[in-house]
Amino acid sequence: MSKVSIGKKVPAFSLPATGDQTIKLSALKGKNIVLYFYPKDSTPGCTLEGQDFRDNIRKFSSRNTIILGVSRDKLTSHERFKEKQSFPFDLLSDEDETLCKLFDVIKEKNMYGKKHMGIERSTFLIDEKGVLRYEWRKVKVKEHVNEVLEALKAL
């Protein structure tokens, strides 16, 4: 499967999600999608990022936009994380890294001198027709949601 690129349609995907459902890209046509990849449930940066999206959900909803968070965590972990943080959006479980590879977010990371492969915090904005319009890589959580909202206004 080739990687996504700006200005091109995002290939169809389907992943298990919170709420005992399967999210399919094809079922989301007609809506803008903010797809944000994060390293791990319930860690400080990932919690802050999710809270920022949560706290701005009305601004996204008013622009016909849904938010989906993606990590390699199991659904049980996602369910706890979503409930604890009262996230009004779904979290997708990509344990086999299918979507992570499609969006090329698995990168070598260095933590305390140890190298490992993990998700590089990244966000993608897909328009109502399923075309990738914007991408943010190596995301810094502070002010990120505002950048995404500004890009959404430009669509």
Q: Return the active site residues.
A: 46
- Both structure tokens of 123: 């966000």
Residue type, 53: F
Q: Residue 35's closest CA among 48, 17, 58, 55? A: 17
**Packing angle between helix 144-154 and helix 44-55, nearest 10 degrees?**
40
Distances (CA, A) of 125 to 5, 33, 42, 86, 116: 11, 6, 24, 23, 27
